Protein backbone atom coordinates (compact mmCIF):
# COMPACT_ATOMS: atom_id res chain seq x y z
CA UNK A 1 0.00 0.00 0.00
CA UNK A 2 1.22 3.49 -0.86
CA UNK A 3 1.15 6.61 1.30
CA UNK A 4 -2.15 8.15 0.47
CA UNK A 5 -1.11 11.55 -0.87
CA UNK A 6 1.36 12.92 -3.37
CA UNK A 7 3.32 9.73 -3.67
CA UNK A 8 5.19 8.49 -6.71
CA UNK A 9 7.73 5.72 -7.04
CA UNK A 10 11.29 6.94 -6.98
CA UNK A 11 12.51 4.65 -9.74
CA UNK A 12 10.27 6.44 -12.22
CA UNK A 13 11.87 9.85 -12.04
CA UNK A 14 14.64 12.19 -12.84
CA UNK A 15 17.13 11.28 -15.53
CA UNK A 16 19.87 13.90 -15.16
CA UNK A 17 23.15 14.89 -16.72
CA UNK A 18 26.32 14.36 -14.70
CA UNK A 19 28.98 17.05 -14.52
CA UNK A 20 32.62 16.01 -14.54
CA UNK A 21 35.79 17.70 -13.27
CA UNK A 22 34.32 19.32 -10.21
CA UNK A 23 37.35 19.21 -8.00
CA UNK A 24 38.28 16.73 -5.34
CA UNK A 25 35.44 15.44 -3.22
CA UNK A 26 37.42 16.26 -0.10
CA UNK A 27 38.59 19.65 -1.31
CA UNK A 28 36.06 21.65 0.57
CA UNK A 29 37.63 24.92 -0.56
CA UNK A 30 36.01 24.33 -3.91
CA UNK A 31 32.69 23.59 -2.21
CA UNK A 32 31.45 21.84 -5.30
CA UNK A 33 30.51 18.87 -3.16
CA UNK A 34 30.21 18.91 0.60
CA UNK A 35 28.63 16.99 3.45
CA UNK A 36 27.92 18.65 6.79
CA UNK A 37 26.50 17.45 10.09
CA UNK A 38 24.04 20.24 10.91
CA UNK A 39 23.21 18.51 14.16
CA UNK A 40 23.37 14.99 15.53
CA UNK A 41 22.49 13.40 18.84
CA UNK A 42 19.53 12.16 20.82
CA UNK A 43 17.80 15.53 20.47
CA UNK A 44 17.87 15.73 16.71
CA UNK A 45 19.64 14.70 13.55
CA UNK A 46 20.08 16.59 10.30
CA UNK A 47 22.74 16.38 7.59
CA UNK A 48 23.33 18.56 4.55
CA UNK A 49 24.70 17.17 1.28
CA UNK A 50 25.53 19.63 -1.49
CA UNK A 51 26.53 18.84 -5.04
CA UNK A 52 26.49 21.04 -8.13
CA UNK A 53 22.88 20.12 -8.85
CA UNK A 54 21.51 19.04 -5.49
CA UNK A 55 21.09 20.48 -2.03
CA UNK A 56 19.54 17.80 0.12
CA UNK A 57 18.92 17.17 3.79
CA UNK A 58 19.09 13.74 5.32
CA UNK A 59 16.64 13.70 8.23
CA UNK A 60 15.11 16.82 9.75
CA UNK A 61 15.10 16.09 13.47
CA UNK A 62 14.95 19.73 14.57
CA UNK A 63 12.12 22.20 14.23
CA UNK A 64 11.71 23.85 10.85
CA UNK A 65 12.79 27.15 12.40
CA UNK A 66 16.04 25.65 13.75
CA UNK A 67 16.80 24.03 10.41
CA UNK A 68 16.32 27.37 8.65
CA UNK A 69 18.86 28.92 11.04
CA UNK A 70 21.33 26.07 10.60
CA UNK A 71 21.12 26.40 6.83
CA UNK A 72 21.69 30.14 7.03
CA UNK A 73 24.98 29.47 8.79
CA UNK A 74 25.98 27.56 5.68
CA UNK A 75 24.90 30.35 3.39
CA UNK A 76 21.76 28.56 2.27
CA UNK A 77 18.11 29.45 2.38
CA UNK A 78 15.53 26.74 2.99
CA UNK A 79 14.35 27.51 -0.54
CA UNK A 80 17.70 26.19 -1.82
CA UNK A 81 16.84 22.69 -0.57
CA UNK A 82 15.59 20.32 -3.26
CA UNK A 83 14.76 17.24 -1.22
CA UNK A 84 14.68 15.73 2.25
CA UNK A 85 15.53 12.06 2.74
CA UNK A 86 14.06 10.48 5.87
CA UNK A 87 15.61 7.43 7.55
CA UNK A 88 12.73 6.59 9.89
CA UNK A 89 9.80 8.07 11.77
CA UNK A 90 11.34 8.75 15.17
CA UNK A 91 11.04 12.35 16.30
CA UNK A 92 14.76 13.00 16.41
CA UNK A 93 14.78 12.37 12.64
CA UNK A 94 11.55 13.88 11.37
CA UNK A 95 10.47 16.54 13.85
CA UNK A 96 10.90 19.27 11.24
CA UNK A 97 8.58 17.74 8.65
CA UNK A 98 5.55 19.42 10.15
CA UNK A 99 7.05 22.86 9.63
CA UNK A 100 8.80 22.18 6.33
CA UNK A 101 6.08 20.24 4.52
CA UNK A 102 4.50 23.40 3.13
CA UNK A 103 7.57 24.15 1.06
CA UNK A 104 6.17 23.77 -2.41
CA UNK A 105 9.22 22.54 -4.25
CA UNK A 106 10.75 20.22 -1.67
CA UNK A 107 10.35 16.49 -2.22
CA UNK A 108 10.32 14.19 0.80
CA UNK A 109 11.83 10.77 0.19
CA UNK A 110 11.11 7.73 2.37
CA UNK A 111 10.02 4.16 1.90
CA UNK A 112 6.29 3.49 1.94
CA UNK A 113 5.95 2.22 5.49
CA UNK A 114 7.83 5.18 6.92
CA UNK A 115 5.85 7.67 4.81
CA UNK A 116 2.56 6.06 5.86
CA UNK A 117 3.52 6.16 9.52
CA UNK A 118 4.50 9.83 9.36
CA UNK A 119 1.33 10.63 7.42
CA UNK A 120 -0.79 8.96 10.08
CA UNK A 121 0.99 10.69 12.93
CA UNK A 122 1.47 14.17 11.52
CA UNK A 123 -0.46 15.16 8.44
CA UNK A 124 -1.31 13.93 4.98
CA UNK A 125 -0.19 16.83 2.83
CA UNK A 126 3.46 15.83 2.59
CA UNK A 127 5.02 15.74 -0.87
CA UNK A 128 6.33 12.18 -0.66
CA UNK A 129 8.24 10.18 -3.19
CA UNK A 130 8.41 6.60 -1.97
CA UNK A 131 11.34 4.35 -2.78
CA UNK A 132 11.97 0.66 -2.38
CA UNK A 133 14.77 -0.40 -0.07
CA UNK A 134 17.79 -1.89 -1.84
CA UNK A 135 16.73 -0.44 -5.18
CA UNK A 136 18.98 2.33 -6.51
CA UNK A 137 17.32 5.40 -7.99
CA UNK A 138 18.41 8.79 -9.24
CA UNK A 139 17.67 12.23 -7.93
CA UNK A 140 19.25 15.07 -9.91
CA UNK A 141 23.00 14.31 -9.97
CA UNK A 142 22.81 11.73 -7.16
CA UNK A 143 22.31 7.98 -7.20
CA UNK A 144 20.63 6.84 -4.01
CA UNK A 145 20.31 3.44 -2.37
CA UNK A 146 18.44 2.92 0.88
CA UNK A 147 18.99 -0.27 2.86
CA UNK A 148 17.30 -1.80 5.90
CA UNK A 149 18.63 -1.42 9.42
CA UNK A 150 17.64 -3.21 12.66
CA UNK A 151 15.92 -0.58 14.80
CA UNK A 152 12.56 -0.24 16.55
CA UNK A 153 10.87 1.72 13.76
CA UNK A 154 8.53 0.48 11.00
CA UNK A 155 11.12 0.27 8.21
CA UNK A 156 14.31 2.16 9.12
CA UNK A 157 17.03 2.65 6.53
CA UNK A 158 20.55 3.84 5.98
CA UNK A 159 21.59 5.50 2.73
CA UNK A 160 24.38 5.35 0.20
CA UNK A 161 24.67 8.47 -1.93
CA UNK A 162 26.72 8.12 -5.07
CA UNK A 163 28.01 11.58 -5.96
CA UNK A 164 28.67 13.22 -9.31
CA UNK A 165 31.93 12.15 -10.85
CA UNK A 166 34.84 14.48 -10.35
CA UNK A 167 38.51 14.85 -11.20
CA UNK A 168 38.23 12.26 -13.94
CA UNK A 169 38.16 9.51 -11.30
CA UNK A 170 37.03 6.20 -12.75
CA UNK A 171 34.15 5.80 -10.30
CA UNK A 172 31.72 8.07 -8.51
CA UNK A 173 32.60 8.95 -4.92
CA UNK A 174 30.18 7.56 -2.36
CA UNK A 175 29.05 8.43 1.12
CA UNK A 176 27.18 6.03 3.41
CA UNK A 177 25.05 7.10 6.38
CA UNK A 178 24.23 4.50 9.01
CA UNK A 179 22.48 5.53 12.20
CA UNK A 180 19.90 4.07 14.55
CA UNK A 181 20.70 0.38 14.55
CA UNK A 182 20.90 -2.09 17.42
CA UNK A 183 23.67 -4.13 15.83
CA UNK A 184 25.57 -4.39 12.58
CA UNK A 185 23.71 -7.07 10.64
CA UNK A 186 25.21 -9.46 8.15
CA UNK A 187 25.24 -7.60 4.86
CA UNK A 188 25.80 -4.12 6.27
CA UNK A 189 29.44 -4.23 5.21
CA UNK A 190 28.46 -4.48 1.57
CA UNK A 191 27.07 -0.93 1.80
CA UNK A 192 29.56 0.50 4.27
CA UNK A 193 32.81 -0.74 2.81
CA UNK A 194 32.30 0.36 -0.78
CA UNK A 195 32.28 4.07 0.00
CA UNK A 196 34.78 6.90 0.45
CA UNK A 197 33.12 8.44 3.48
CA UNK A 198 31.35 6.47 6.20
CA UNK A 199 29.00 8.24 8.61
CA UNK A 200 28.13 5.84 11.42
CA UNK A 201 26.36 5.91 14.75
CA UNK A 202 28.41 5.63 17.95
CA UNK A 203 25.58 6.14 20.41
CA UNK A 204 26.73 5.25 23.86
CA UNK A 205 29.49 4.06 26.09
CA UNK A 206 28.30 0.80 27.64
CA UNK A 207 29.55 1.70 31.12
CA UNK A 208 28.06 5.19 31.12
CA UNK A 209 24.74 3.77 29.99
CA UNK A 210 24.81 1.21 32.79
CA UNK A 211 25.57 3.95 35.36
CA UNK A 212 23.07 6.45 33.94
CA UNK A 213 20.48 7.51 36.52
CA UNK A 214 18.10 9.31 34.17
CA UNK A 215 16.94 6.28 32.22
CA UNK A 216 14.79 3.49 33.67
CA UNK A 217 16.01 -0.04 33.11
CA UNK A 218 13.51 -0.77 30.34
CA UNK A 219 14.82 2.19 28.33
CA UNK A 220 18.40 1.05 28.86
CA UNK A 221 17.41 -2.42 27.71
CA UNK A 222 15.75 -0.95 24.63
CA UNK A 223 18.90 1.02 23.77
CA UNK A 224 21.09 -2.06 24.22
CA UNK A 225 18.72 -4.37 22.33
CA UNK A 226 19.13 -5.61 18.76
CA UNK A 227 16.66 -2.92 17.72
CA UNK A 228 18.18 -0.10 19.73
CA UNK A 229 21.37 1.86 19.16
CA UNK A 230 24.95 1.05 18.26
CA UNK A 231 27.43 1.37 21.14
CA UNK A 232 30.92 2.79 20.71
CA UNK A 233 32.33 -0.72 21.04
CA UNK A 234 30.01 -2.10 18.39
CA UNK A 235 30.71 0.77 15.98
CA UNK A 236 34.48 0.45 16.33
CA UNK A 237 34.35 -3.31 16.16
CA UNK A 238 32.39 -3.06 12.91
CA UNK A 239 34.86 -0.59 11.43
CA UNK A 240 37.83 -2.65 12.49
CA UNK A 241 36.45 -5.95 11.20
CA UNK A 242 35.28 -4.46 7.92
CA UNK A 243 38.06 -1.96 7.34
CA UNK A 244 38.06 -0.79 3.74
CA UNK A 245 41.04 0.72 1.96
CA UNK A 246 38.52 2.85 0.09
CA UNK A 247 37.58 4.78 3.24
CA UNK A 248 39.06 8.24 3.46
CA UNK A 249 36.93 9.60 6.25
CA UNK A 250 34.72 8.26 9.03
CA UNK A 251 32.32 10.50 10.95
CA UNK A 252 30.76 9.31 14.21
CA UNK A 253 27.28 10.66 14.83
CA UNK A 254 24.19 10.27 17.03
CA UNK A 255 26.19 10.37 20.27
CA UNK A 256 24.11 10.29 23.44
CA UNK A 257 24.65 13.53 25.33
CA UNK A 258 24.30 11.71 28.67
CA UNK A 259 26.06 8.43 27.97
CA UNK A 260 28.82 9.36 25.57
CA UNK A 261 31.23 12.09 24.57
CA UNK A 262 33.81 12.61 21.82
CA UNK A 263 36.73 12.18 24.22
CA UNK A 264 35.73 8.58 24.93
CA UNK A 265 35.65 7.77 21.22
CA UNK A 266 38.95 9.52 20.59
CA UNK A 267 40.61 7.46 23.32
CA UNK A 268 39.13 4.26 21.96
CA UNK A 269 40.34 5.07 18.45
CA UNK A 270 43.92 5.38 19.67
CA UNK A 271 43.88 1.68 20.55
CA UNK A 272 43.28 0.75 16.93
CA UNK A 273 45.88 0.76 14.25
CA UNK A 274 44.04 2.63 11.56
CA UNK A 275 46.24 4.24 8.91
CA UNK A 276 47.11 7.91 9.36
CA UNK A 277 45.52 8.70 6.04
CA UNK A 278 42.08 7.80 7.40
CA UNK A 279 40.44 10.92 8.81
CA UNK A 280 38.06 10.71 11.76
CA UNK A 281 35.42 13.21 12.77
CA UNK A 282 33.10 13.12 15.78
CA UNK A 283 29.83 15.05 15.96
CA UNK A 284 29.58 16.54 19.45
CA UNK A 285 25.98 16.42 20.67
CA UNK A 286 26.60 19.14 23.27
CA UNK A 287 28.52 21.68 21.25
CA UNK A 288 26.88 24.78 19.97
CA UNK A 289 27.56 26.27 16.57
CA UNK A 290 28.98 24.68 13.48
CA UNK A 291 32.72 25.11 13.94
CA UNK A 292 35.21 22.41 13.24
CA UNK A 293 38.00 21.85 15.69
CA UNK A 294 41.12 19.91 14.84
CA UNK A 295 41.88 17.73 17.81
CA UNK A 296 44.31 15.00 17.02
CA UNK A 297 47.43 14.25 15.10
CA UNK A 298 45.56 11.53 13.24
CA UNK A 299 43.68 14.30 11.41
CA UNK A 300 40.74 13.79 13.68
CA UNK A 301 38.25 16.58 14.16
CA UNK A 302 35.09 17.29 16.05
CA UNK A 303 32.12 18.77 14.36
CA UNK A 304 30.15 21.01 16.60
CA UNK A 305 26.55 20.93 15.53
CA UNK A 306 23.68 22.69 17.19
CA UNK A 307 21.84 20.05 19.15
CA UNK A 308 18.53 21.68 19.96
Which residues in this chain contact Zn ion in the complex, by CB under 5 A? 90, 92, 180
**Closer Cβ to Zn ion, 92 or 141, answer by number:** 92
**Closer Cβ to Zn ion, 97 or 300, answer by number:** 97
**Closer Cβ to Zn ion, 4 or 91, answer by number:** 91
In the complex, the smallest distance separating the C-beta of residue 89 from Zn ion, rounded to whole angstroms, is 8
**Closer Cβ to Zn ion, 54 or 306, answer by number:** 306
In the complex, the smallest distance separating the C-beta of residue 253 from Zn ion, rounded to whole angstroms, is 10
Residue 86, judged by CB atoms within 10 A of its CB (0-12, 13-18, 19+), counts as buried
In the complex, the smallest distance separating the C-beta of residue 165 from Zn ion, rounded to whole angstroms, is 32
DSSP label of 150:
-
**Closer Cβ to Zn ion, 102 or 226, answer by number:** 226
In the complex, the smallest distance separating the C-beta of residue 86 from Zn ion, rounded to whole angstroms, is 11
Q: How far apart are the C-alpha atoms of 174 and 161, rounded to whole Å?
A: 6
**Closer Cβ to Zn ion, 22 or 94, answer by number:** 94
Q: How far apart are the C-alpha atoms of 52 and 169, rounded to whole Å?
A: 17
In the complex, the smallest distance separating the C-beta of residue 30 from Zn ion, rounded to whole angstroms, is 32
Of residues 97, 109, 86, 88, the one with CA closest to residue 62: 97
In the complex, the smallest distance separating the C-beta of residue 180 from Zn ion, rounded to whole angstroms, is 4
Of residues 218, 220, 168, 223, the one with CA closest to residue 201: 223
Is 126:4 a contact under the CB 8 Å cutoff? no
**Closer Cβ to Zn ion, 90 or 172, answer by number:** 90
**By beta-carbon distance, which residue lies closest to Zn ion?**
90
Alpha-carbon 99 to chain mean position: 20
Q: How far apart are the C-alpha atoms of 83 and 75, rounded to whole Å?
A: 17
Of residues 75, 82, 74, 80, the one with CA closest to residue 58: 82
Q: How far apart are the C-alpha atoms of 297 and 120, rounded to whole Å?
A: 49
In the complex, the smallest distance separating the C-beta of residue 95 from Zn ion, rounded to whole angstroms, is 11
**Closer Cβ to Zn ion, 97 or 166, answer by number:** 97
The set of residues, in sequence order, having a beta carbon less than 8 Å from that of 59 and lying 6+ positions away, is: 45, 46, 47, 84, 85, 86, 87, 93, 94
Is 305:290 a contact under the CB 8 Å cutoff? yes
Q: How far apart are the C-alpha atoms of 306 and 287, rounded to whole Å?
A: 6
In the complex, the smallest distance separating the C-beta of residue 98 from Zn ion, rounded to whole angstroms, is 17
Backbone angles phi, psi at 235, to 5 degrees: -65, -45
Amino acid sequence: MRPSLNCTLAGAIIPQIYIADLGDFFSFGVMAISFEVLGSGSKGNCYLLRTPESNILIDVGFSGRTIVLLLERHGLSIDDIHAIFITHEHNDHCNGIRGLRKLKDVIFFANEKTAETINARMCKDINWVAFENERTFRFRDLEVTAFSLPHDAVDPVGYVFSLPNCCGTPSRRKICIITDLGYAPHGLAQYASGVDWLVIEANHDLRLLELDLKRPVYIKNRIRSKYGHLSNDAALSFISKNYSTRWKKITFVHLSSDCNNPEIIRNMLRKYNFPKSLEFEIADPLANGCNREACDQNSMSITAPTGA
